[in-house]
Amino acid sequence: MFEIGFLSIILLLLWFVVFVIVMRLPQDWAAALRLRLVTLLGCVVALGAYFSQAWIEFNPIEYITPSDVLDCIPEDLLAFIVEKMGSEQGAKILRILADFMQLNGWQTQVIPTYSIATRVCTLFAPVLAFAALLWIPFGVWLRGKKLTAMVGGLMIFLNGVGSILLLLVLPDLDALGMAGDFHGMLLATLVGAHLGNGPWWAIIGMLLIAVGGVVEIMDHPDVDDFSNSIDTPVEEIWSS
Amino acid sequence: MVILILISAAFVGVVFVIRHSENNNRWLSWGGFLGSVLALLAFFLLPWVELGGISAFQQNIEWIVANFNTLDSLLIQLSLSPTSVSPETLCSIFDDRTTYAFLSLVQKGNDFHAWQLMQAAFRVQPPLVMALGLSLLIALASGLVDVWRLMTGNWQWGSRIRKYLPLCSIVVILLLLGYFPLLDSLGAPDNLKVRLLAALASAKVGCGLCWMVVGMIAAILGSIRDWLPSVVLDVVEEP
């Protein structure tokens, strides 16, 4: 379930290099950046998930062994799909099924049967990850300011909502946007379409960025080490 | 969207109640109890898998029958049958207890509740059945502890159980969410027979699991007192 794509491995290695460098730097800005490594990790995980992990897999090999996926689908069914969806959309989805064994996050956008809501929900992960990535230098620069705390709150809210929305559209993603439709489900069954691990990694990435939002709120120039904040008794935080 | 609003409202409500209530214990127990009741209602009453109805099933069967040559070639291509398929061989392919369990539920024409899902998925996906059973036990135990506390006013009663139930709840919630997109195929997307039956029944994932998770989260929030007693127990105890 949690196998990692090549691009994700590269991104995680890059993050580790940044981690090692930042941990060794003595400057103030490095101390601030150190706290935001969790945001950076979230961005890396979410972007890696969207661009390199499988969101939808076509794996008929689990129960059949054809070399070409379309060969195992009867012509009558193909004709019915084309007739029902229209020649343009039908041809499009059949071409996708024939050409790909898996679709990454961005590639799922080419599936014509997904609703607008599903498409928007799948876009939350890369958009929020890019936004958080761009914010990191500003967060280091403006640490302790009211704006930083507001952005932190926004990061928590948007990533929390984005994670839940992505979770809610997973059944629709899994069913290629044709849940409850007999012919669509029959086609999906025959090509062994099922959800890949990409969305799960995207959700983990967004949750890490939300944790980064907490860092943005709690970080202050006076707090040069995050452990100071962690050592604060819970009762004190609560009463404040 | 409704679920999102409810989760946010529950969270804000718990924080508000803790900060402003004179007796947080009572409110927290009520919150936890209502969460457990919601989880139990979701388990027994809400649809976890929605079906197209018996008419849709019949229509789909009719389509298959009308295109029997399609199914014939299809099954040969799928290597399920080495020779031409007759209705008898077709029946033999689907002749197992899982199929019967699934079909008997489909024939009733109603949506699947969690307990029916357990019945249907018993042989194809035991971990899903185990997670469902655990969620039921946790909701029951959590609800009973809160009821007892509300009845006796002893807010410390069952503190140890109530402290560890949220941990179990989180594990079970994660397990169930892992199966969430796969519920329409009984959590077994690699089982061709089950997927074909699900397609024939026009099955799709229902809202039951979402509401169960909302209920379990409310029950977890209701146990804040057991985790942070110094924060929440600084109130006037009821006689």
For residue range B50-70, list pLDDT tens digits in order: 888 778 888 887 777 777 666
Give the distance from residue B109's alpha carbon to the nearest chain A alpha carbon, in angstroms: 14
Interatomic CA distance for residues A35 and A123, integer angstroms: 26
Interatomic CA distance for residues B17 and B28, integer angstroms: 8
Interatomic CA distance for residues B192 and A116, integer angstroms: 30
CB contact under 8 A, B70 and A76: yes
| Non-local CB neighbours of B74 within 8 Å, separated by 6+ positions | A72, A73, A74, A77, A190
The fraction of chain B above a pLDDT of 90, given in percent, is 8
pLDDT at site A52 = 85
Q: For A102, list phi and psi in degrees, rounded to 5.
A: -155, 155
* CB count in 10 Å sphere of residue B81: 15
Kind and range of the H or E run holding A103? strand A102-103
- A44, A15 contact by CB (below 8 A): yes
Q: For A116, list phi and psi in degrees, rounded to 5.
A: -60, -40
Of these ranges, A88-102, A213-227, B154-168, the one predicted with the greatest mean pLDDT is B154-168
From the list A65, A173, A182, the residue facing B199 with the nearest CB is A182
CB contact under 8 A, A182 and B78: no
CB contact under 8 A, B77 and A72: yes
Residue B81 confidence class, pLDDT cut points 50, 70, 90: very low
- As beta bridge partners, residue A194 has A57
Contacting residues of A for B204, CB less than 8 Å apart: 171, 175, 179-180
Does residue A233 register a pLDDT over 50? yes
H helices of B114-158, where? Answer: 114-121, 126-152
CB contact under 8 A, B73 and A74: yes
Residue found under tokens 């609560």: A238
Does residue B191 register a pLDDT over 80? no
Answer whether A234 touches B (CB < 8 Å).
yes
Q: Where is pLDDT greater, at B6 or B137?
A: B137
Residue B229 confidence class, pLDDT cut points 50, 70, 90: low
* CA pseudo-torsion sign A2, B177, A131, A54: positive
Interatomic CA distance for residues A41 and A21, integer angstroms: 15
Q: Using one digit for the tens of pLDDT, what is the confidence trace for A164-215? A: 999 999 988 888 888 777 888 887 887 778 888 889 999 999 999 999 999 8
- A150, A70 contact by CB (below 8 A): no
Q: What is the largest distance, in Å, between two alpha-carbon atoms of chain B? A: 79
Q: Using one digit for the tens of pLDDT, what is the confidence trace for A1-25? A: 556 777 778 888 888 888 888 888 8
Report helix, strand or coil for A194. strand
Q: Which of A113, A3, A96, A114 is nearest to A49 (CA)?
A: A3
CB contact under 8 A, B77 and A1: no
Residue found under tokens 């929440």: B232
| Non-local CB neighbours of B234 within 8 Å, separated by 6+ positions | none
Q: Using one digit for the tens of pLDDT, what is the confidence trace for A25-71? A: 887 778 888 888 899 999 999 999 898 888 888 765 454 444 455 55
Q: Where is pLDDT greater, at A104 or B73?
A: A104
pLDDT at site B85 = 46
CB contact under 8 A, A175 and B182: no
Does residue A79 register a pLDDT over 80? no
* CB count in 10 Å sphere of residue A52: 20
Lowest mean pLDDT among A28-37, A123-132, B155-164: B155-164
Which residues of B, range 74-133, sit inside 8 Å of A by Cβ? 74, 77-79
pLDDT at site B124 = 81
